[in-house]
Structure 1
């Protein structure tokens, strides 16, 4: 077994508990502030709107144009030459085939968008203004209580 000698990086449980208790109390206090609550809901709405627009707006459109462009060896003339007969065939087809094609494209768009939306939520989680305010407060609290806390809390 290893010897547990006290060192400067060791943090006692009461000191950590005091830090978390102070953070919890501060979060409870600032949740009652109307300006921060309003900022929280505004940032939630902006975050969700940004994620939805990015996932359903950018990625499906980018893939819809980038893949044919790559398959055409980055030559727009070849891409147009390949796509024009497909568009003419779509226009000349009966309404049932057109509806099927449009619904297939919509399903593809929604599935690509949903795929990117899920991973976008995972890769860019929401950062609450409450947590930011608590981080700022705890930094100042650590500085005020520096003599009572160990080196790393």
Structure 2
């Protein structure tokens, strides 16, 4: 046997050399399975619950944790990580806010609200990009397709 023949028999086929019919069979089976499981009420409930928890978690992180963290972190950095200096710098600002007229107080509060929302939306967009939603349907389809690959292993090429 030549070395070329040995290499071709011992190395698995790369993904680009797979017959299109084998790949199409895999994706057709996956698509059919997803269509079947979308009708299951328990999975539908699990999907909506997971989507709700995902959105709530993203909103709490983006509008709760990050703005509050920045509100305390930035002044602490500017005061060289000395909380006494930070409070000493912020007390005159708070005193000026309390003694100002209602129009200036309303303007300050609206500015802080806009800043809070802009920081929250900024982190929300990046949070959606960095942590995409993982559908329970896709998880179930992955599990099913792994077992389908094992059952049809003799009819499929090495890498599907």
Q: Does the pair score TM above 0.5?
A: yes
Indicate whether 1:106 and 2:107 are aligned. Answer: no
Could you list the structure 1 runs, at least 4 aligned residues long, displaced by more than 3 angstroms after superposition: none
Do structure 1's residue 40 and structure 2's residue 80 form an aligned pair? Answer: no
CA RMSD, 1 decimal: 0.9
Aligned residues: 148
The answer on 1:88 being equivalent to 2:101 is no
SS in structure 2 at match of 1:151: coil
Shift of the alpha carbon at 1:8?
2.2
Partner deviation per Cα, 1:12-45 (whole Å, 9 max, x = no partner): 1000000000000000000010000000000000
- Corresponding residue of 1:69: 76
Q: Deviations over 1:61-92 (max 9, x none)?
A: 10010000000000000000000000000000
For structure 1, the 5+ residue unaligned runs are 1-5
Q: Give 1:3-152 correspondences, 5 Å limit.
A: 8-9=13-14, 10-152=17-159
Structure 2, unpaired ranges of 5+: 1-7
- The separation in 1 between residues aligned to 2:151 and 2:18, in whole angstroms, is 18
Normalization by structure 2: what TM-score?
Answer: 0.91
